[in-house]
């Protein structure tokens, strides 16, 4: 038996012992008339269920936060792409327009042409990376996420699997020790599996969220797109200001 499993059994065994020893001093435990062992096991399983629910709530919150941020960036890309096309058409029309537009656009012609091509490329790469990350994070077959989601139900099922109801009685033929060890071992295994699953999924989440940082070295990140987008917007703001001054 692995040392970690042994330690878990000792941990939950000690917890159960404290609960049973506390029964003479606990009004809640002594008024249930089912005996301290039964009540202690119930509390142990309830605590495991509570911890599982807490772990799922924290995991779900972080997952939704990451997914919402990525979907927000996708919306920005969808809204901005037509603007690139609109500005391209405006530049083409400027070559056949009055002197003000020709003058102001020609001042930035090289920058516009460079930005348009590079910006479209970075937009497409950013969108592809977001789609890939969202596919990974929203994969319904992810075993770690599914386990975390269902862990509270598994904790509750321990009561039935280990036939804890038998601890209510005081018959000498009831296997109280076997039932107790069944609960302790299953709760311990659940706790260990839950911790590992949560750590594994949060590592996956961190990897997908930080994937943009890795891509930044190649200039293919969404952050690189955002930086170029701001430069692109600045150029067109300068053009608008130039046209306004020319007309004035």
Domain extents for the chain?
3-247
Q: Quick one: pLDDT at residue 88?
A: 80
| Contact assessment for residue 151 and residue 195, using Cβ atoms and an 8 Å cutoff | no
Judge whether 224 and 122 are in contact, CB under 8 Å: yes
Residue 115 reports pLDDT greater than 50: yes
pLDDT classification of 18: cutoffs 50, 70, 90: very low
**pTM metric for this prediction:** 0.76
* Percentage of residues of the chain with pLDDT beyond 70: 77
DSSP label at residue 92: H
Q: How far apart are CA 133 and CA 93, in angstroms?
A: 39
Tokens of 63: 């997952």
Q: Which CATH number fits domain 3-247: 3.30.300, 1.10.1760, 1.20.1270, 1.10.3470?
A: 1.20.1270
Cβ neighbour number for residue 144 with a 10 Å cutoff: 19
- Structure-model confidence comparison of residues 169 and 53, the more confident one: 53
| Percent of the chain at pLDDT exceeding 90 | 45
Q: Mean pLDDT lowest for which of 41-45, 91-95, 141-145, 185-189?
A: 91-95
Binning pLDDT at 50, 70 and 90, where does residue 200 land?
very high
Dihedral, CA atoms, 25, 30, 31, 33, nearest 10 degrees?
180
Q: Looking at the predicted structure, is the pLDDT value of residue 236 above 90?
A: no
Q: What average pLDDT does range 174-196 have in this prediction?
A: 91
DSSP character at residue 165 = G
Is residue 180 classed as helix, strand or coil in its secondary structure?
helix
Written as six digits, the tokens of 112 are 């516009």
Q: What is the pLDDT of residues 123-151, one digit of tens each?
A: 999 999 999 999 999 998 899 999 999 99
Predicted local distance difference test score (pLDDT) of residue 105: 81
CA distance 151 to 167: 24
């Amino acid at each position: 038996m692995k040392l970690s499993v042994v330690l878990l059994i000792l941990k939950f065994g000690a917890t159960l012992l404290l609960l049973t020893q506390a029964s003479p001093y606990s009004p809640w435990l002594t008024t249930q008339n089912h005996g301290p062992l039964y009540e202690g096991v119930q509390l142990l399983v309830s605590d495991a269920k509570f911890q599982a629910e807490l772990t799922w709530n924290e995991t779900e919150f972080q997952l939704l936060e990451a997914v919402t941020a990525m979907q927000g960036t996708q919306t920005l890309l969808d809204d901005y792409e037509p603007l690139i096309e609109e500005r391209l058409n405006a530049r083409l029309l400027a070559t056949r327009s009055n002197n003000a537009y020709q003058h102001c656009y020609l001042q930035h012609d090289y920058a516009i042409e460079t930005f348009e091509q590079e910006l479209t490329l970075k937009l497409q790469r950013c969108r592809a990376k977001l789609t890939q990350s969202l596919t990974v994070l929203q994969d319904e077959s992810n075993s770690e996420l599914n386990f975390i989601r269902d862990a509270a139900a598994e904790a509750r099922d321990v009561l039935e699997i280990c036939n804890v109801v038998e601890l209510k009685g005081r018959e000498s033929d009831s296997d109280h020790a076997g039932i107790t060890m069944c609960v302790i071992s299953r709760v311990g295994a659940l706790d260990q599996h839950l911790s590992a699953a949560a750590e594994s999924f949060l590592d996956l989440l961190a990897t997908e969220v930080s994937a943009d940082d890795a891509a930044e070295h190649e200039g293919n990140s969404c952050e690189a797109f955002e930086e170029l987008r701001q430069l692109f917007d600045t150029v067109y703001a300068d053009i608008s200001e130039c046209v306004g001054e020319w007309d004035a």
